[in-house]
Structure 1
Amino acid sequence: METIAALVVTYNRLADLQKCLDTLREQTHKLDAIFIVNNGSTDGTAEWLATQTDLLVTTQANLGGAGGFATGIDTAYRAGHTWIWCMDDDCLAAPDALAALVAAPNLGPCIKNSMSVSVNSRDELAFFVDRPNQAYRKVSDMTGVDLIYGVASFFNGTLVHRKVVETIGIPDKNLFIWGDEVEYMTRAQKNGFPIVTVPRSVFYHPASFDRDGIPWPAAWKQYYAVRNQRRVLQNQFGNTLGRMLYASWAAKATLQQAVAQRDNRLYNFLLYGEAALDSLTGNFDKRPDTIRTLQFYKWRNK
């Protein structure tokens, strides 16, 4: 008998987590288990979770989204569940979201993703996807078909079959945030697993934003998007060509930051350069407090 477990990774967003869990408990297709990975929250999340008897909770240090999903997927997989439904704590599932995923055409071991809709604009997708022959920006761009192949918004209503985990492993916790989900997706594609979005399954999520334009000091997060991109390209094009493409992309992107008409372009330029150098030299150990550009920014803005 197949079983489905939900997995929610949370960090310091107790109110969002509570709303997310309400939508999971109200699913028309009942879940067999709900796993929570608490990434060291300090806002009362741990205390509240201790009162919830229907949840399976793991508390760990803050290892970012990558570390949270690595722990959670591994835990649910070891518990023997057939499918693992992965999501951030700021997701809201429509009542029939899981039922629609289950009812979608049977592709065998695969990854099925809910359609991520902007919580603020219900006719717009939360994450834009541009393909050579199709741009997905509006909800209407996705509706009308059963499955959209090769498009998914990890980890926002992402249903992963255990055979996928058995074959490709768990997300790489060293990637920390931003890009870890794309790396996992391309790793699954590299191993031949179908990846689809099921438009009838709806998830609501805050809209994505222009990461390059985030005000400092929050812009340090872009460090990880730049650094982790090498792993994505190597999954797609192989180690040698992927590394060459990354070096070319990173050099161009770093120079663009130097000439961009943005506030704090000096810090953006240094951040991109630091991320690219660390990626090419295999330094994937940095956490926010050891990113040198962020240290420099804080020193100059005491």
Structure 2
Amino acid sequence: MSEAQTPRTLDTGAQERPRETPWETPVIAVVVTHNRLALLKTCLAAIHGQEPRPDRIVVVDNGSSDGTAEWLAEQRAVMPELLVVRQANIGSAGAYHTAFATALELGARWIWSTDDDGIPAPGALAELLRQGERHDLDLVGPTVVAAEDRGDLAFTMQGFTKADAFAAAAQDGIVPGAIALFNGTLLRRRVFERIGNIKREMFIWGDEWEFTLRARRAGLRDGTAVHALHVHPRNRRTQRPLVGGFLGTIEEMPENRAPYFFRNMGYIHATYERKSIARMMVKYTLYYLLHRRADVKGLRGFWTHYRAGLQNRYPQDLQASPTAAAPVAASGAPPQSFPKSV
């Protein structure tokens, strides 16, 4: 979707404040939301209650229609650091693209990122900052525990499913090379200066993994600070054994999201994991022919979208504009220049 098609409006909530210079606002939290007001309220309360508190909180409202905009407007009295960006729903990738661009334009040294269904535990930000500086990490994440059972990880990490076992694998408080973007993840400014913004045309499902791989390819360092906790609903994606498990598992997803998943995986495989291309083709072909009982329509859809991703072909309404990585101008200031997303 082009810039002209996705108008954004900024509601600073604190226009009387002087504009920050780059190093006067070292930490900016960003939250993306879409029609989950109850979750957003809990998330923002947890962020606002951190010690230290972020210098600014940027909320990108991705076209909510559940009263989110009205509620956010009422928070100015209690959250003077709040800045709201409203735009059309262009997916979580599009929302994060806007959020990161806005935070960079405001001069963030560190950007703290979360979805609206994440809840940072007390002290999480302080621990992330401490470990990030101590170990010179570029991307530092918390231990993401399941809201349903905080003894479990919300996402499997390096083969671990239990929080205690994962923490035991830490080296001086950090599990290097393990991170689950963007669930309470803290990112340095230099990450974006080095590799650009998120690939927003991915829309959903895969944008965070692509960004992780891009950062690692560029030599940026990531890890999890195991004593910083972030609560998130358990990963609900379904893994189905293929041919009785002989060929491993495949990931099932709602049909309305399958095109995004296949296209994004095609791009990721072509760009970072070329050895995975043949395996992906074989596994999903067998899945649609055997498990879905000769689902020709589904198989055709897989091939169409996966091949498009391999060729980096995205629908026109999801394409990033030539200035997609340029931060959003706020308070009348011109945007700075940052590398474009790949």
TM-score band by shorter chain is 0.7 to 0.9
Give the residue type in structure 2 aligned to 1:29: P
SS at match of 1:143: helix
Are the counterparts in 1 of residues 137 and 222 from structure 2 also a CA contact under 8 Å? no
Q: Normalising by the residue count of structure 2, what TM-score does the alignment of the two structures yield? A: 0.75
Question: Could you tell me the percent identity over the aligned residues?
Answer: 31
2:191 corresponds in structure 1 to 164
C-alpha distance in 1 between matches for 2:199 and 2:255: 22
Are the counterparts in 2 of residues 178 and 225 from structure 1 also a CA contact under 8 Å? yes
Are the counterparts in 2 of residues 40 and 62 from structure 1 also a CA contact under 8 Å? yes
Moved over 4 A (4+): 211-216, 262-268
1:228 corresponds in structure 2 to 264
Are the counterparts in 2 of residues 178 and 222 from structure 1 also a CA contact under 8 Å? no
1:79 to 2:103 alignment: no
Higher relative contact order, chain-length normalized (CA < 8 Å, sep 6+): 2
Deviation at 1:136, TM superposition (A): 1.5
Deviation at 1:224, TM superposition (A): 1.6
SS at match of 1:42: coil
CA RMSD of aligned residues (A): 2.4
**Consecutive unaligned residues in structure 1, runs of 5 or more:** 289-302
Q: 1:142-181 alignment to 2 at 5 Å?
A: 142-144=166-168, 145=170, 146-181=173-208
SS at match of 1:219: coil
The structure 2 residue matched to 1:137, chosen from 161, 166, 172, is 161
Give the residue type in structure 2 aligned to 1:206: P
C-alpha distance in 1 between matches for 2:294 and 2:95: 31
Are the counterparts in 1 of residues 265 and 306 from structure 2 also a CA contact under 8 Å? no
C-alpha distance in 2 between matches for 1:265 and 1:23: 46
SS at match of 1:51: helix
Are the counterparts in 1 of residues 238 and 252 from structure 2 also a CA contact under 8 Å? no
Q: Structure 1 280/208 Cα, relative in aligned 2: closer, same or farther at 3 Å?
A: same
Deviation at 1:67, TM superposition (A): 0.4
C-alpha distance in 1 between matches for 2:286 and 2:40: 38
1:283 to 2:313 alignment: yes
1:297 corresponds in structure 2 to none
Give the residue type in structure 2 aligned to 1:71: T
Deviations 1:106-139 (A, max 9, x none): 2336000011100001111001134xxxx11110
1:108 to 2:131 alignment: no
Give the residue type in structure 2 aligned to 1:13: R
SS at match of 1:207: coil
Deviation at 1:247, TM superposition (A): 3.5
Deviation at 1:210, TM superposition (A): 2.7
2:215 corresponds in structure 1 to 188
Deviations 1:246-273 (A, max 9, x none): 5413311321322453599556434322
Q: Normalising by the residue count of structure 1, what TM-score does the alignment of the two structures yield? A: 0.84
1:200 to 2:243 alignment: no
The structure 1 residue matched to 2:152, chosen from 124, 148, 153, is 124
C-alpha distance in 1 between matches for 2:198 and 2:293: 34
Give the residue type in structure 2 aligned to 1:248: A
1:256 to 2:318 alignment: no
1:19 to 2:66 alignment: no
SS at match of 2:74: coil
Are the counterparts in 2 of residues 26 and 95 from structure 1 also a CA contact under 8 Å? yes
Deviation at 1:184, TM superposition (A): 0.5
Are the counterparts in 2 of residues 38 and 57 from structure 1 also a CA contact under 8 Å? yes
2:28 corresponds in structure 1 to 5
How many pairs are equivalent?
Answer: 277
Deviations 1:195-230 (A, max 9, x none): 1011101000001123467998x3321322221123
SS at match of 2:75: coil
2:117 corresponds in structure 1 to 90
Are the counterparts in 2 of residues 6 and 35 from structure 1 also a CA contact under 8 Å? yes
**Consecutive unaligned residues in structure 2, runs of 5 or more:** 1-22, 241-250, 319-342
C-alpha distance in 2 between matches for 1:136 and 1:204: 17
